[in-house]
Amino acid sequence: MKNKVVIITGASSGIGKALAFEFGSKGAHVVITGRNENKLMEALAELQALQIQSTAIVCDSSSEEQTREMIVQVVKELGQIDILINNAGISMRSMFEQVDLKVLKQLMDINFWGTVYATHAALPYIKKSKGGIIGISSIAGYRGLPVRTGYSASKFAMNGFLEALRTELLETGVHVLTACPGFTASNIRNASLNSEGKITGDSMRDEEKMMSAEEVAEKIYQAYQQKKKTLVLTFQGKLTVFLNKWMNGLMDRLVYNTLKKEKDSPLR
């Protein structure tokens, strides 16, 4: 990673922040982005306290204009882009019948279109450096989750986009990795939206039993170094993907029963 420039979107907390420490500790200059300037600057200070080369740029991933300006700024200041990690994302928790459709649009704008905007703007520079693109997707991109219809839709779209792009770039030397963590101890559930688009501020699952953001970041770094195309994390995640392919009727019931046990689940 020495002398490499790595952009990580949505990196002020959670997996994105852990990835900044992981790639930065290996010698990369990490560029972290996020919408919340205060949180972003706090993350930058933590990185710099460990002598990690780092830059912070306030950027809303759902804005094509801001994203393109961010990419231009990185190239102007650092001269290159070697790796783009599309991590910015939000979740939701609501029955589809009750949700305001603006919530689904917001998820698609950030989770899917945010990935598209950043990748499209950065691709010429990544091709030049023969670098890589990493998408932080989810098991929900393989198996639709009830009460998270918009989240699953955005991650299915992300998976399809990255798979198609990976195939397009087969002869260019650019590596594309789709990483799909299972339930991870990060703030994405605390920041998930309800049926009205308001942040719930509460996790509905036991965080102590989940893989930490730092563990996820380490696995993603290793997978990128090994040039893996996809990374499905946790035994539960791998089992979910396998069973959904071959026994999807059974998985409907298993997933329903599992998510019905969540705190204040709307499933009955």
**HEC sequence for 130-146:** CCEEEEECCHHHCCCCC
Percent of the chain exceeding pLDDT 90 equals 74
Q: Where are the domains of the chain?
A: 5-235
6-10, 16-20, 154-158, 198-202: least confidently modelled range: 198-202
Task: Give CA separation, 193 vs 36, 150, 183, in Å.
Answer: 17, 10, 17
* Residues whose CB falls within 8 Å of the CB of residue 124, separated by 6 or more in sequence, listed in order: none
Q: How far apart are CA 65 and CA 54, in angstroms?
A: 23
164-199, pLDDT tens digit by residue? 999 999 999 999 999 999 766 555 545 678 766 677
37-83, pLDDT tens digit by residue? 999 999 999 999 999 999 999 999 999 999 999 999 999 999 999 99
pLDDT given at position 211: 84
Amino acid in position 134: I
pLDDT given at position 201: 59
Regarding pTM above 0.85, the answer is: yes
pLDDT given at position 267: 78
117-121, 176-180, 240-244: least confidently modelled range: 240-244
Q: Which two tokens stand for residue 179?
A: 């990483």
Residue 257's pLDDT band (cuts 50, 70, 90): confident
Q: Which two tokens stand for residue 75?
A: 């190239």
**Neighbour count for residue 63 (Cβ, 10 Å):** 17
Q: What CATH fold (topology level) applies to the domain 5-235?
A: Rossmann fold (3.40.50)
Q: What sign does the CA torsion over 73, 41, 138, 109 have?
A: negative
Which of 178, 160, 168 is CA-nearest to residue 228? Answer: 178
Q: How far apart are CA 201 and CA 194, in angstroms?
A: 10
pLDDT given at position 184: 61
Mark whether 256 is an active-site residue.
Answer: no
Kindly provide the residue ranges of all beta strands, DSSP E only, lying in the chain, ordered along the sequence.
5-8, 29-34, 54-58, 83-86, 132-136, 175-180, 184-185, 211-212, 230-232
Catalytic residue among 125, 151, 221, 224: 151
